[in-house]
C-alpha cells in the first residue's frame, strides 16, 4: 500500500509541470508556432505519460535524491518550449526561471509539511498530504498571483521590451530565489523543527515571496519606463522631421510669393527677348527660371503629414547618396494607426534600404517603395532596394551588417506588424533586398 501511495505522490509531483507549462505558455500565447488548442492536446497527454514513466522509474531505481530527475526534466521541457514558441530564447529562459521560482515555494512547502508531520508523529503516508499541500499552494499562486498579476505584465514585457543587455541579466533574480528555496530544503527533518527553526523557515520563505513579487513589479515598471522613453524619443525625432518639413514648406511659400511678385519683370524680359529674336538667350533664361522654380518645390509623397515628412527626410538622404528612388505612396490624411507606429515601420525600412544601397556603385543604387491602403483596413508596404548580396542571419532573422549595428530595425518592424495582427516578410537575392509588411488596421 505504501508503494502505491508513493507512486501516486510521484505522479502528482510530475503533473505539476501542467500548471507550470501554462504559466510559461500564456504570456507568449500570440507567438506560438502552432495553434494553442492543438498544442494543449499534444502537451498534456505527453506530460501525463512522462510523469507516469518517470515515477515508475524512480520507484524501481535506487535513486537517493529524488529532486535530481525532477530538476533534469526542466531542460527537456525548455527545449520543446523553444521549438513551440517563436521568440528569443533569452526571453523564454527568463519565463522558465520565473516559473521555477514561483513553483519553488510550493516545493519547499512539501518538505516543510513532511517535517511538521514527522515532529507530531502523525500517521503515514506523508506523501499524499505533502503533495496536496504543494498542489494547494501552487494552484493558489496560479489563480491569485499569476493570472491577475504576472500574466499580463509578462506578456507585455516579452512583446514590448527588447533591451538585450537587460534580458541577459534579469533572469538572475528569480534564479537566485529558486536556489535559496532549494538550499532551504532540510537535510534532516528533525533539525527543521528544533526550537523556533520551523517558524523562521516560514518567515524567511514568506520574505522571499515578497521579494519575488517586488522584483516582478520593479522589472515591469523599469521596462515600461524605458519603453515609454524610447517612444518619446521616436516622437521627438518625428516632430523634428516634421518641423524641418514645415520650415521647407514655409520657405517654399515665401519664395513662390516672391516669384509671383517678380513675375511681371520676368514676363517683360521674356517679351523683350522674343521681340528681338534673341532665342538663345530666351531659352537660357527659361531654363534658369525653371531650375529656380524646381529648387523651391518640396517633395509631396502623400496626404499623411507625418509620413510625408518622414519620406521627404529619407528622400533627401537618398539624394545625397545618389540613390534613385521610385516611391508610390497612397495614404490618406487620417488613418487608424498611430503616427509613431507608421513612421517606425517606414523609417526602419528606408534606413535599411539606404544602408544597403551605399555599399554598391553609384550607377546601381535604387529604392522602390510602394505603400497602399486597401479599403481603409489593410495597409501594405513593399520596399525593394539594391545591395551587394551580403547578409547576416541568425535563426531566420536578418541582422545588421553595420559595424556598430544592433540588428533591431527589421525586428522592430516585425514587432509593430504583430501589434496590428499583421505579418512581415524579408528575403533577398544576389542584388536585391525585399521587405513586405501587411497590417490589419482596427
Residue keyed to cell 499580463: 152
Concatenated DSSP letters of 13-32: HHTTHHHHHHHHHGGGGGGB
CA 213 to each of CA 105, 153, 157, 173, 179: distance values in angstroms, whole numbers, following the listed order:
12, 12, 15, 11, 16
3-class SS string, 322-355: CCEEEEEEECCCCCCCCHHHHHHHHHHHHHHHHH
Domains belonging to the chain, first-starting first, are 2-226 (no CATH), 302-440 (3.30.565.10)
Residue 257, pLDDT score: 60
Q: Phi and psi dihedrals of 322, rounded to 5?
A: 55, 45
What does each of the 442 residues of the chain score in pLDDT, given as a tens digit?
Answer: 467 777 787 888 889 999 999 999 999 998 898 888 899 999 899 989 988 888 888 777 776 666 777 778 889 899 999 999 988 899 999 999 999 999 999 988 888 888 877 776 665 555 678 888 889 999 999 999 999 999 999 999 998 888 888 999 999 999 999 999 988 888 777 777 777 888 888 899 999 999 999 999 999 999 999 888 877 877 777 677 666 656 655 555 565 566 555 666 666 677 676 777 777 777 777 777 666 655 545 567 888 888 888 888 888 889 889 999 999 999 988 888 888 888 888 988 998 999 999 999 999 999 999 999 887 789 999 999 999 888 877 656 676 666 544 456 787 888 888 888 889 999 999 899 999 999 998 7
Question: Prior bond to 173 cis, omega within 30?
Answer: no
Its pTM stands at 0.68
* Angle, vertex CA 145, rays to CA 144 and CA 150, nearest 5: 135
CA 350/CA 342 separation, integer angstroms: 12
CA 129/CA 123 separation, integer angstroms: 11
Residue 382, pLDDT score: 95
Residue keyed to cell 529604392: 367
**Contacts with 300 (C-beta within 8 Å, 6 or more apart), sequence order:** 308
Residue 1, pLDDT score: 47
Q: Phi and psi dihedrals of 395, rounded to 5?
A: 55, 45
Amino acid at each position: 500500500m505504501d508503494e502505491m501511495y508513493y507512486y501516486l505522490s510521484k505522479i502528482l509531483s510530475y503533473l505539476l509541470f501542467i500548471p507550470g507549462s501554462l504559466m510559461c505558455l500564456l504570456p507568449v500565447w500570440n507567438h506560438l508556432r502552432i495553434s494553442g488548442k492543438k498544442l494543449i492536446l499534444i502537451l498534456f497527454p505527453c506530460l501525463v505519460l512522462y510523469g507516469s514513466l518517470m515515477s515508475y522509474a524512480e520507484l524501481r531505481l535506487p535513486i537517493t535524491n529524488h529532486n535530481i530527475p525532477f530538476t533534469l526534466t526542466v531542460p527537456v521541457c525548455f527545449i520543446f518550449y523553444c521549438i513551440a514558441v517563436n521568440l528569443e530564447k533569452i526571453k523564454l529562459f527568463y519565463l522558465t526561471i520565473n516559473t521555477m521560482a514561483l513553483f519553488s515555494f510550493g516545493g519547499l512547502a512539501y518538505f516543510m509539511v513532511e517535517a511538521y508531520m514527522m515532529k507530531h508523529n502523525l500517521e503515514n503516508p506523508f506523501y499524499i498530504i505533502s503533495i496536496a499541500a504543494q498542489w494547494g499552494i501552487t494552484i493558489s499562486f496560479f489563480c491569485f498571483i499569476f493570472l491577475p498579476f504576472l500574466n499580463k505584465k509578462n506578456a507585455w514585457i516579452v512583446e514590448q521590451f527588447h533591451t538585450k543587455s537587460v534580458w541577459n541579466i534579469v533572469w538572475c533574480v528569480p534564479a537566485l530565489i529558486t536556489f535559496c528555496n532549494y538550499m532551504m530544503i532540510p537535510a534532516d527533518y528533525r533539525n527543521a523543527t528544533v526550537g523556533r527553526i520551523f517558524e523562521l523557515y516560514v518567515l524567511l520563505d514568506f520574505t522571499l515571496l515578497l521579494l519575488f513579487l517586488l522584483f516582478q513589479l520593479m522589472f515591469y515598471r523599469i521596462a515600461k519606463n524605458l519603453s515609454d522613453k524610447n517612444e518619446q524619443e521616436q516622437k521627438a525625432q518625428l516632430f523634428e522631421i516634421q518641423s524641418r518639413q514645415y520650415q521647407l514648406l514655409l520657405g517654399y511659400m515665401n519664395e513662390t510669393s516672391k516669384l509671383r511678385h517678380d513675375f511681371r519683370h520676368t514676363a517683360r524680359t521674356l517679351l523683350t527677348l522674343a521681340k528681338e529674336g534673341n532665342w538663345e538667350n530666351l531659352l537660357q533664361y527659361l531654363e534658369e527660371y525653371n531650375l529656380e522654380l524646381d529648387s523651391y518645390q518640396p517633395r509631396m509623397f502623400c496626404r499623411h503629414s507625418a509620413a510625408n515628412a518622414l519620406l521627404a527626410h529619407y528622400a533627401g538622404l537618398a539624394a545625397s547618396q545618389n540613390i534613385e528612388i521610385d516611391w508610390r505612396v497612397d495614404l490618406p490624411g487620417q488613418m487608424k494607426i498611430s503616427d509613431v507606429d507608421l513612421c517606425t515601420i517606414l523609417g526602419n525600412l528606408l534606413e535599411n534600404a539606404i544602408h544597403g544601397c551605399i555599399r554598391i556603385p553609384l550607377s546601381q543604387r535604387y529604392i522602390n517603395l510602394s505603400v497602399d491602403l486597401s479599403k481603409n483596413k489593410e495597409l501594405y508596404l513593399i520596399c525593394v532596394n539594391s545591395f551587394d548580396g551580403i547578409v547576416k542571419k541568425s535563426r531566420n532573422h536578418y541582422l545588421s551588417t553595420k559595424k556598430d549595428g544592433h540588428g533591431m530595425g527589421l525586428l522592430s518592424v516585425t514587432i509593430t506588424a504583430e501589434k496590428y495582427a499583421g505579418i512581415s516578410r524579408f528575403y533577398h537575392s544576389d542584388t536585391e533586398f525585399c521587405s513586405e509588411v501587411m497590417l490589419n488596421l482596427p
